[in-house]
Structure formats: C-alpha cells, structure tokens
A and B are shown apart, each in its own frame.
Chain A
Amino acid sequence: MLAGVLHQIMSGIATGGIYASVALALVMIYQATHHVNFAQGEMATFSTYIALTFINAGFPYWIALAIAVVASFAIGVAIERILMRPLMNAPILASVGVFVGLLLIINSLSGWFFDFTIKQFPTPFPDHPMLGGYLSGHELGATAVTLIVLIGVYLFFRHTRLGLAMRGAAFNATSSRLVGVRVGWMLALGWGLAAAIGAIAGCMVAPIVFLDPNMMAGILLYAFAGALLGGIDSPLGAVLGGFAVGVIENLGGAYLVGTELKLTLALVIIVVVLTIRPTGLMGRKVTSRV
C-alpha cells in the first residue's frame, strides 16, 4: 500500500512538472495582459509537431528541440503583435472569442500539416525504470528538464535587466513606460517565452500521451487547475499548483474516483478553488476602486 502510494506520488510529480510548465506559460500571459490563453495547449502541440518534423528529418533530438523552441518563440511573438495588440483594451468576450478562434485555427493547422493520426514521439532518455522502479527513465528525465526550465525562468526574471523590465511592464505599464521600458515589446516577449515553455512541455509529455492534434486538451485543463490553485497571478504559485494538481490527479485517480473521472477532478479543483479562495494559495488579493 505504502509503496503504491509512493509510486503514485512520484509519477504525480513527474506529470505535475508538465502541468507546472503549462501553468507557468498561462500565468506569464495572464500577468502581462489579463488574458487567459485558451490556445496555449494547441500552440504547444503545434510546437511538438515542429520538433517531430526535424527529428524525422534526421536532426539530433536536442537540436530539433532547440529549433522547435526558437520557432515557437517567434510564433508567440508574431501572434501577440498581429492578433493581440488590437485587443489590448477589448472587453473579455472579444478576447475569449479571439482565443477560441486561435485554438480552432492552430488545431486545424496541426491536423492539416501533420495529419490526424496518433504518432509516437521519441524520448532522449533511457528506457528502463529508475529510482528503484518508481519512475521510468523518461519520467525522471522530463522532470529534470522541467525543473531546469523553471529554474532558468526564475533566474531570468530575478537576475537580468530584461527580466526586470518584463516584470515592470506587467506590474505597472505606465510607470515602466516612463522609465524607458518598451512595454509593447515586453508583452510580445512574454508571449514568446510562454510559447517556448509550452514547446518544451509538449515535447516532454508527447512520449507519454502520444502525439495527436488534441493531445493537450486535457493537459491544458490540469494546467488551468494548477494555475488557479496556486494563484493565477503568481508564477511560483502556478508551478507549485501544477505539481500539486499532478499529485492530486494521480492519487485521486488511483484511490478516489478511478481513472475514468480524472478530468472531472480538474473541474472540481477549479470550481472549489474559485468559489472558496479565488486568489489561489499564493495570489494577491486585488481590490478595485469604484
């Protein structure tokens, strides 16, 4: 029993890392623009296809991954510049509409370019169980990659001038503009970074769930749950929330509701968090003046 629980927790942490990455991508866009990117999952799927194309063309795994990350960054910046810029001050319905449209378009493009069949995705990690059989080689490797990405993002925002400028632009656009930060480009960079993080998350999860155009639908839901649980305006909270949702999902799926209702568990987490503590565990309470 105990070994079983431990096993579930370990693989919960492994999948939680993926949710944490996607949740972080969501939070980065939310912090800067107060938009929730419903197309984040489809963007990550598309990036994963780019990586697969280059792997099939004979490129080494890590080079292909790097190309996919750079391409996704460019796509993210382009989407912000072309589609999102005019919607800066639009009502919520308009932004939701554009995001849903984006979701449909990217999903169709994935199917159009790379067809709808389910594909295997290679892993660069050894194929045998590790840590006394608790985790597969890929799960351990993916967790390590996720952690490296998360630490990298943290260092970037904490210790570089650009990271500081991006935080400033998200926190108070007017003041940042007054001290010479190019706020518009900071938002575009935020979109690019979110797309790049999504690309890595996509490539890490694809060997587990297999690659098809709808691969990320469920994962996006868990990432939403993770971001809300941690607090949608707190990057650290979103990461911890993502890991927590991974563990809750695995334990709940194994001992509570069975694997058939795992997605419903994400729905329940979202509803419970939003009704009981809408700021999440680490989010700031926002009060607005009337």
Chain B
Amino acid sequence: MRTPWLITILVLLAVIVPVAQFTDYHLFQLTMVVVYAIAILGLALLIGFNGQISLGHGAFYAIGAYTTAILMTTWNMPYWLTLPFSAVVCAFVGFLLGLPALRLGGLYLALTTFALAVSIPQILKYKAIEDWTGGVQGLVIDKPEAPFGLPLSPDQWLYTFTAAVAVVLYVIAWNIVRGRVGRAMMAIRDHAMAAEAMGINQPVVKTSTFAMSAMYTGLAGSLGAIAVQFVAPDSFGVVVSIFLFVGLIVGGVSSIGGTLIGAAFIEFVPNVADKLSKAAPGAVYGVILIASMFLMPAGAGGFLHAMWRRLMPSRTPTVQAPAAQPGMVADETQTRPPPVMAPQTGFAKEPVARHE
C-alpha cells in the first residue's frame, strides 16, 4: 500500500475511533496530545530543521493562549475566528525575537530564550495589562458547542476540530520541510557558511523559520486554552517550555511524526509517574532526557524511521545507508541516504565560533 493512503486511513481512524468509543475525559487527554504535538512541531521546525535552540517556546504557547482568551472574553469573538489572529500575533512576535536571535549563536540563544521562559509569568501578571489578561486570576472561557446541530458532545467536537486543525498544520509543515525552503533551513543548520555560499539568504530564512515556529506553538496554545477553558500566568511557567523541549528530544528533533510520540510522552508520563511521588515526573523526564541524548539521539521518531527503512528496503535500492552515528540527526524527509561527505551534525567537534 502507498504511504500517503496509509497515513490518511490512520488519521481518519485516529479521529473516528476515539470520538465513537472514548469517554469525555480520555478525549480531553487526546485533545491535549494533539495540542502538544502541534507545539512540539513548531519547536521541531526551529531546533530540528533549522538548528536554532529555543528553551522558551512556552512563551509563544502562552501568547497564543492569551490571544485567544482575550479575544473570546473581551471581544466576544467565536473560538475558531481567534486562530488566525493568534497565528498572526505569534508569528509577528516570533519574527521580532528572531531578529536578535540572528546575532546569538546556539548556546546564547538557548540562554536568552530560557530567560524569556522564566520571566513570562511575571509579564503576564503585569498590572498595566491586567484589564485584558485578568492578572493573577487569569481568564475563564466557554467551551465551544458542536455547530450545525451535529450530535457530538463538546469534548467530541473539540477533539475533531483540534485534529482537523492539526492535519492542516502537519500537511503544511511536511510540504515546507520537503521543499526548497526546508532544504534551505536544513542547509543552514548543517553548515551555515556553506549555505550562504550557495546563495541562501540566511537572515530571511532564519527569521521566517522563527516566525513560523512561533506561529505553530502559538496556535497550539490557542487550541490548548480552548480545551482547558482557562488561562492563568502560573500555568505558563518555565516548566511548559522545558516539557515541550523534553517532548521534542524524546520524539526526535527532526522527525515530524516523532512529535506525536513526544506529545503523548509529555501528556501521559506525568499521569503515570505522579502515582509514585510528586517529585517523580521531573525525575523521570530528566532521566529519559539524558538517556535519549546518550542512547537514542535521533529520538523515538528517528528510531522508528530507521526501523521502517530497514523493513522497506525497496525505497533505498542502490546505495547502502551509512551506519547511523551517535547524535546524527535523522530526517524522515530524506528519501535518499545522505552522501558520505555530508557535513555531520552529530557528535563532531564544532568550531567554537561566536558572533562578535
């Protein structure tokens, strides 16, 4: 069977079966998995495909959530209409943050975005914008009903709606990454100077990747706010950013399908680990994060993809794929194995180059 059809059928099943079978609570959990998956997809576009490390994507998640909440409470806008606004706001903020990010090499960008993540709750609590944001109390929003008299409960409808938005976003991301823009993004990640020598406009590609990434994570924030029906500053602390980062690493930094695995991981693992002790989720996250850095650097997505390629040898008939090296970023977008001389993004010594 051809892969696109297989994926289409799987997606349809993933929507229909839960809506028909699951309880409302489990549907809510699945909705959150889809929401996190979109957020992690945004992070993957930036970190995995463009090599810009952000530890602060919780900030964009928060901005998206607040944009939707404010539009719904202050302007009485219907929930679906807030999404385009949220996309524009987050893309714009992402673009603005992408500008200083151009001057900050890897580690410094991680540090700056980490600082952003730590300070975002304080900014949300700020008195001058309290009329809009509801201050420490936050905002409560209504759960949307199914339209056109569809015989669905609000949770069933919300899951269907979120999944539909996710499908659109995934198709867009998949096509961007496989196309010319995606190749430019990855070229910058693998060797910025060589990419520039090939005529890739580095500032334009990097800032627009940042904007797109922020837009994805922001839209996830909007959908998450609608599903949770509540936004408050303290639910957008630095932990959100760290969880998204953990989900990304576990799923595989440059694996589009892996984002779903990462999202399921950050949604369900705390529920299971919580039964052990209050401290367990953090410890489990930390151990798995470090373990996957050492043992499975391409994440679950990269691992499964390598398995898939081994089972489907017909797709790579002539050239034998070079043995995966630790830390090598596996792209499921690659239809051919990379040439042997490809610049390694793995555990190779990188020159310590800093911007002046």
Q: Which residues of A contact B (CB under 8 A)?
A: 34-36, 38, 83, 86-87, 89-94, 96-98, 100-109, 111-112, 116, 217-218, 221, 224-225, 228, 258, 260-264, 266-267, 270-271, 274-275, 278-279, 285-290
Contacts and interface: CB of A to CB of B under 8 A. Distances in A.
B354 interface: yes
| Interface residue SS majority, chain A | helix
Interface string B297-314: 100000000000000000
A278 B283 contact: no
B73 to A, nearest CB: 22
B4 interface: no
A3 to B, nearest CB: 27
Contact of B100 (A225, A274, A286): A274
Contact of B289 (A92, A97, A262, A275): A97
Given A94-B347, A108-B280, A278-B355, A102 B290 contact: yes
Given A270-B115, A278-B103, A102 B286 contact: yes
Interface string B36-48: 0000000000010
Given A104-B283, A105-B286, A94 B119 contact: no
Which of A97, A103, A260, A287 has the most B CB atoms < 10 Å from its CB? Answer: A97
A118 B34 CA distance: 36
Interface in B94-113: 100, 103-104, 106-108, 110-112
Contacts of B119: 221, 263-264, 266-267
B282 A104 contact: yes
Nearest to B97: A271
Interface stretch (B12-20, B245-253, B261-269, B332-340): B245-253
A106 to B, nearest CB: 8
* Most chain A CB within a 10 A radius of its CB, from B111, B193, B238, B347: B111
10 contacts: A90-B327, A91-B347, A91-B350, A93-B53, A94-B347, A97-B290, A101-B285, A260-B127, A267-B116, A267-B119
Contacts of B283: 104-105, 108-109, 112
B110 A96 contact: yes
Nearest to B193: A290
